[in-house]
Amino acid sequence: MSVQEILVINGPNLNLLGQRQPEIYGYDTLASIEEKCAVLAKELGVSVRFGQSNHEGAIIDMIHEARTKSGAIVINAGAYTHTSIAIHDALKTFEGYIIELHISNPHAREEFRHTSWISSVADAVMAGAGAYGYELATRLAAEKIKAAS
């Protein structure tokens, strides 16, 4: 088991990053974010793997796989953050470090974004730092998995 791996999970619509709504989500694409995190992870002596799905069940499968392969999960569950008890339950089965991540600050947006089913099962919650949040989360996850190994 490579507990030195950080799994970064991105949920619905995040495959469109950099293509729509740049005033909210910025101009970075998911591929460019992944590249920056991979460089950073290498510097920090860990590895990072990105997964994206628009489907709740596929996200749950990624979390299950991380149970034996990853020491930390960074999850931007997109709109499933606000609705998915199934993702909440799956994250509860993961024994490593969990970071809930949002590009925007959901608390400064519509009321329906103020509830998260992820926060209560996350070790850390990061929001509003834009795409740079992925690098911040990679740094924090790397610290935590190295400290635990």
* Contact residues for ligand CA2, defined by CB under 6 A: 13-14, 16-17, 20-21, 25, 76, 78-79, 81, 102-104, 106, 113
Instruction: Assess whether 80 carries a catalytic annotation.
Output: no
- Please identify which of the residues 25, 80, 97, 134 carries the catalytic annotation: 25
109 φ, ψ (degrees, to nearest 5): -115, -155
Would you say 93 or 115 has its CB closer to ligand CA2?
A: 115
Quick one: 57 or 128, whose CB is closer to ligand CA2? Answer: 128
| Smallest gap from residue 115 Cβ to ligand CA2 (A) | 10
DSSP 126: E
Which of 80, 102, 107, 134 does the annotation list as catalytic?
Answer: 102
- Say if residue 47 is exposed, middle or buried (CB neighbours under 10 Å; 0-12, 13-18, 19+): middle
Shortest CB 87 distance to ligand CA2, Å: 12
Residue 102 catalytic?
Answer: yes
Q: Which is nearer to ligand CA2, 66 or 77 (CB)?
A: 77
Buried b (16+ CB within 10 A) or exposed e, 64-79: eebeeebbbbbbbbbe
By C-alpha distance, which of 6, 133, 137, 143 is closest to 69? 6
Residue 16 to residues 30, 83, 142, 149, Cα–Cα distance (Å): 8, 20, 27, 35
d(CA 14, CA 77): 9
Output 53 or 76, the one with its CB closest to ligand CA2: 76
- Smallest distance, ligand CA2 to C-beta of residue 134, A: 10
Tell me how far, at minimum, the Cβ of 149 lies from ligand CA2, in Å: 29
Instruction: Tell me which residues are annotated as active site.
Output: 25, 102
